[in-house]
């Protein structure tokens, strides 16, 4: 196979795939149904034309029969008054009318037979079109439901994938939170044990000095209380033990 042939085949394959993606089967079915309706309309128009031709022939036959009856009556009247030549003329015309009647009758019967065939064809086509319409609507409804189901499935799949990513992020956040909590607990333990200096303490003071300062402050408070008791009038207060 030549290179140009392979390129052409590849191009057709891509075009067919693109058309398949862009093609909506519901639109194709509706278009096919419209085309069938157009064909049915053409058949019905043809049937109407044939019926019109048959009626025209029947009208002509009716006129010829009436003319033949009139000519027969005229021939009888001419004979009764002794006008044989006139009667012969009337009979000659009646014979010509009879020939026309026979010819038109054959044509009328042929057209009527064609009309019956077209009627049968129209009924068959109408039944097929109606069956196609029913099938078309069923397929369209099924396709629409399948399309909706597919879209819902794709949405659910997308949500599931996104939730998977969210789950990973949540686990990472929980792990980092646990690590921070463990680190904070370890720092608290180190601060409590004195292994680390507490940044909130004044510079240059440790925990022992803080305890000594607290004892000194308590002693000062007790001294102040004792001085205040001494300043009270006698009998107004009792020193606490």
pLDDT, tens only, 14-56: 545 544 555 788 888 889 889 999 999 998 999 999 999 999 9
Structure tokens at 74: 């005229």
Query: For residues 53 and 69, is the Cβ–Cβ distance under 8 A?
Result: no
Average pLDDT, the chain: 79
Greater model confidence, 138 or 223: 138
Domains of the chain by start residue, with CATH: 9-155 (1.10.287)
Q: DSSP letters along 163-201, please? A: HHHHHHHHHHHHHHHHHHHHHHHHHHHHHHHTSS--TTS
pTM above 0.85, yes or no: no
CA torsion, points 121, 122, 123, 124, in degrees to nearest 10? 50
pLDDT for 208-241, tens place per residue? 666 777 777 777 877 877 887 778 776 555 544 4
Q: Are 91 and 70 in contact (CB under 8 A)?
A: no
Contacts 24+ apart (CB under 8 A), 152-155: none
């Amino acid at each position: 196979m030549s290179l140009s042939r392979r390129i052409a085949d590849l191009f057709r394959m891509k075009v067919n795939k693109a058309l398949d993606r862009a093609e909506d089967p519901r639109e194709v079915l509706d278009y096919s149904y419209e085309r069938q309706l157009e064909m049915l309309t053409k058949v019905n128009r043809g049937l109407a034309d044939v019926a019109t031709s048959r009626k025209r022939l029947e009208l002509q036959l009716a006129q010829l029969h009436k003319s033949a009856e009139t000519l027969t009556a005229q021939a009888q009247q001419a004979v009764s008054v002794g006008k044989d030549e006139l009667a012969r003329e009337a009979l000659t015309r009646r014979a010509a009318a009879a020939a026309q009647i026979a010819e038109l009758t054959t044509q009328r019967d042929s057209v009527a037979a064609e009309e019956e065939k077209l009627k049968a064809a129209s009924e068959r086509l109408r039944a097929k079109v109606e069956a196609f319409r029913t099938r078309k609507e069923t397929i369209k409804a099924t396709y629409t439901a399948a399309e909706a189901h597919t879209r819902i499935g794709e949405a659910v799949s997308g949500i599931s994938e996104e939730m998977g990513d969210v789950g990973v992020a949540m686990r990472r956040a929980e792990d980092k939170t646990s690590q921070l909590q463990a680190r904070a607990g370890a720092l608290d333990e180190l601060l409590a044990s004195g292994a680390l200096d507490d940044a909130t303490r004044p510079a240059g003071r440790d925990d022992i000095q803080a305890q000594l300062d607290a004892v000194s402050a308590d002693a000062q408070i007790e001294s102040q209380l004792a001085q205040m008791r001494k300043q009270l009038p006698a009998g107004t207060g009792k020193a606490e033990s």
